[in-house]
Amino acid sequence: MRPRVILHTAVSADGRIDWFAPDVGLYYQLGERWQEDATLVGAETLLAAADEIPAEEEVEQPPPVAEGRPLLAIVDSRGRLRSWHHWLRLPHWGGGVALCSQATPAEHLAYLDARGIERLVAGDERVDLAAALEWLAERHGVRTVRVDSGGTLNGALLRAGLVDEVSVLVHPALVGGTSPRSLFRAPDLQDADGVIALALEAVERPKDDIVWLRYRVEPAQ
């Protein structure tokens, strides 16, 4: 049985996730309410911070697993993330696992093995997210997952029907534009059958003009 999945994101009033300055402290403070067992992140999100991360040693082992902290699960079917040494030394997570696919280069799998990073290979071209979530539950006892990622992973999870709750921290800003930098990035629908219905669970105004909306994802009809 897969864990409960909460998609938690910060957006502008027009649903964008770029250019405006989100209240990061508030975002993570509210995210702690779920006390997740695992944080699911797309490699693209972490790669965006690559310029700020020091280079790793030739062979660098991860720190020991810290009990009581969430597991960091990174979706990386293309095998591009090479900064595990940095992320696992932050105080947020107690361990890490790489979620890969059959298309992940063998060289990258060897890189993970050499550094003692646990990995799962599931799916052909892309990570089989449903299988990965079930594996996290079975192997690590994960019951609650908080998604901390960009629109692409959000979109894949939503389209696959794997999200139970959508949490949106709406900031008082308008970005505009035509690029698809929104919280939900996915191919355009061909008809209305793919629209995901939501039920409003809670509305809060946690700080200044920021509004926190929490929705339950309704079962597909």
Hey, where are the domains in the chain? 1-34+151-221, 38-142
Secondary-structure class of domain 38-142 per CATH: alpha beta
On the question of a common fold for 1-34+151-221 and 38-142, the answer reads yes
What strands lie across the sheet with 198-207, from one edge to the other? 118-121, 95-100, 71-75, 38-42, 144-147, 4-12, 165-171, 210-217, 198-207
Query: Maximum Cα–Cα distance for the chain, whole Å?
Result: 52
pLDDT per position as a tens digit, 128-144? 999 999 999 999 999 99
Looking at residue 63, its pLDDT comes to: 66
pTM for the model: 0.93
For residues 160 and 196, what is the distance between their CA atoms, to the nearest angstrom? 11
For residues 73 and 127, what is the distance between their CA atoms, to the nearest angstrom? 12
pLDDT per position as a tens digit, 58-107? 656 666 666 789 999 999 999 999 888 888 888 889 999 999 999 999 99
Nearest to 5 by CA among 128, 121, 167, 193: 167
Backbone angles phi, psi at 42, to 5 degrees: -85, 145
Confirm if 169 and 210 have CB atoms less than 8 A apart.
yes
Residues whose CB falls within 8 Å of the CB of residue 128, separated by 6 or more in sequence, listed in order = 101, 122
Does the domain at 1-34+151-221 match CATH 3.40.430.10? Answer given as yes
Looking at residue 118, its pLDDT comes to: 95
